Amino acid sequence: MAVQIQTEVAAQPDADVTTGGPAVAESCGILTIDLGAIVANYKLLAARVTPAECSAVVKGDAYGCGIEQVTHTLLRAGCRTFFVAHVGEARRVRAVARDATIFVLNGFTASLGPLIIELNVRPVINSLVELAEWDQFIAESQWNGGAALHVDTGMNRLGVSIEEAAAVATRIRNLNHGIVLLMSHLACADRPEHPLNDQQIRNFREIRALFRGISSSLANSSGIFYDPSTYCDVVRPGLALFGANPTPGKPNPMQPVIDLKAGILQVRNVPRGATVGYGAAWTARRDSRIAVVAAGYADGVLRVAAITEGKSPRELLVAGQRCPIVGRISMDLLALDVTDLPVGAVQRGQMATLIGEGLSLDAVAEQAGTIPYEVLTNLGRRFHRVWQA
């Protein structure tokens, strides 16, 4: 028989609350996304970069927060330009934002041409090969929807080289050159002291001068807080919209967005010297009480976050108190040491907080030895989802 998860969320008949995923009784826990906080974060960023346009990066299912729900919310908040990774994501954004401008970051191939027209989206051109295919496509289709040209200013990932960009700059003299945005991507904006930042800014400034009259975009979330010289015409925040800190080492200017809870299935006594979990990786050094929680690596709780001998643990919150994960994380389960809590404070059916209530997304990522991007985009589909306006 399933354990009844204690929750007040599902019982709230609030018009400003929508839900998705499995029902509460069929889920391993509850993921709450604060859409109001996303709006507040967007408005803070937009005000900071004025008069530049503040777009929104909603790839990866809006960083795990729901691409349709987030797009709809940001559209109402005034966002008119969205960036996604794939055409499939662009289709989902277009279904919600009929008149928005949508850029597809992962490039163009000839086979994508019909979809570009169907969805009225703009590919980001990442190589001279793609540019040649794009030219052939617009010549044959007479499509004039435009594309972005991505220039690699030092990240060495996607993008045409600086020399290649300079060589094709004269194309903007043509009537239907097809380039509506010049863009690049900062590699180290979250590390203000890194010399690559200034190098990339200088490189992009030189290329912008050759594409005079074309809108440009350089700043990501951390770039917005690095220097106004990165703002150009359009900024592209992603992670900061969802509450992660774009200024590591400094107070987080963004509002938290995520609250993640999972149900406690059982509280058991473990005698001193007994082990917990696969591989007997953790041994009780005292008589202990262990709470078994209905979330594991299938739900995005990274396996490396668990405690083994000699390793600092990731902590969850139970009854407002931090409790370490002990033993290896299983596919569907994890174990918490709740020995230091009063016996009556931890019960079957109670919720443990994985993210939220002061346990920040950044802190969770740090404890797991990863980054907030990975934590967010790995959130599993077995959680009942709640979007609060």
Task: For residues 167 and 298, give the distance between their C-alpha atoms in angstroms, rounded to a whole number.
Answer: 48
- Phi, then psi, of 147 in degrees rounded to 5: -145, 165
> Which tokens sit at 268?
């058991």
Q: Is the alpha carbon torsion for 195, 196, 197, 198 positive or negative?
A: positive
Counting beta carbons within 10 angstroms of the beta carbon of residue 143, is it exposed (0 to 12), middle (13 to 18) or buried (19 or more)?
middle
CATH 3.40.50.150 fits 35-242, yes or no: no
Task: For residues 296 and 280, give the distance between their C-alpha atoms in angstroms, rounded to a whole number.
Answer: 17
Note the pLDDT tens digit of each residue in 8-18: 333 333 458 89
* E-strand stretches of the chain: 17-20, 29-34, 53-54, 56-57, 81-84, 101-104, 122-125, 147-150, 179-183, 215-217, 234-235, 258-270, 275-276, 282-283, 288-293, 315-318, 321-326, 334-337, 351-355, 383-388
Q: Distance of alpha carbon 372 from its chain centroid, rounded?
A: 7
Tokens 């929807």 found at: 145
Any residues with CB less than 8 A from the CB of 376 and at least 6 apart, and which? 60, 63, 64, 65, 239, 242, 244, 258, 361
> Where in the chain is CATH 3.20.20.10?
35-242
Please tell me whether residue 245 adopts helix, strand or coil conformation. coil
Task: For residues 51 and 21, give the distance between their C-alpha atoms in angstroms, rounded to a whole number.
Answer: 39
Tokens 């809108």 found at: 215
Note the pLDDT tens digit of each residue in 208-230: 999 999 999 999 999 999 999 99
**pLDDT at 15 (0 to 100):** 52
* E-strand stretches of 29-68: 29-34, 53-54, 56-57
CB 369 within 8 A of CB 307: no
Is the bond preceding residue 192 a cis peptide, omega within 30 degrees?
A: no
Task: For residues 350 and 369, give the distance between their C-alpha atoms in angstroms, rounded to a whole number.
Answer: 27
Say which CATH topology domain 17-31+256-388 has. Lyase, Ornithine Decarboxylase; Chain A, domain 1 (2.40.37)
> Where in the chain is CATH 2.40.37.10?
17-31+256-388
User: In the structure, how many helices (H) and strands (E) does the chain have?
Assistant: 11, 20
**pLDDT at 311 (0 to 100):** 56
> Which tokens sit at 180?
């509506």
Q: Is the alpha carbon torsion for 61, 63, 66, 70 positive or negative?
A: negative
> Which tokens sit at 172?
């903007």
**pLDDT at 307 (0 to 100):** 57
Any residues with CB less than 8 A from the CB of 67 and at least 6 apart, and which? 58, 61, 84, 89, 92, 93
CA neighbor of 60 nearest in space, from 45, 72, 50, 71: 71
- Annotated catalytic residues are 59, 278
Residues of the chain under the 70 pLDDT cut: 1-15, 305-312
Counting beta carbons within 10 angstroms of the beta carbon of residue 228, is it exposed (0 to 12), middle (13 to 18) or buried (19 or more)?
exposed
Task: For residues 381 and 256, give the distance between their C-alpha atoms in angstroms, rounded to a whole number.
Answer: 21
Label each residue of 263-287 as H, E or C. EEEEEEEECCCCEECHHHCEECCCC
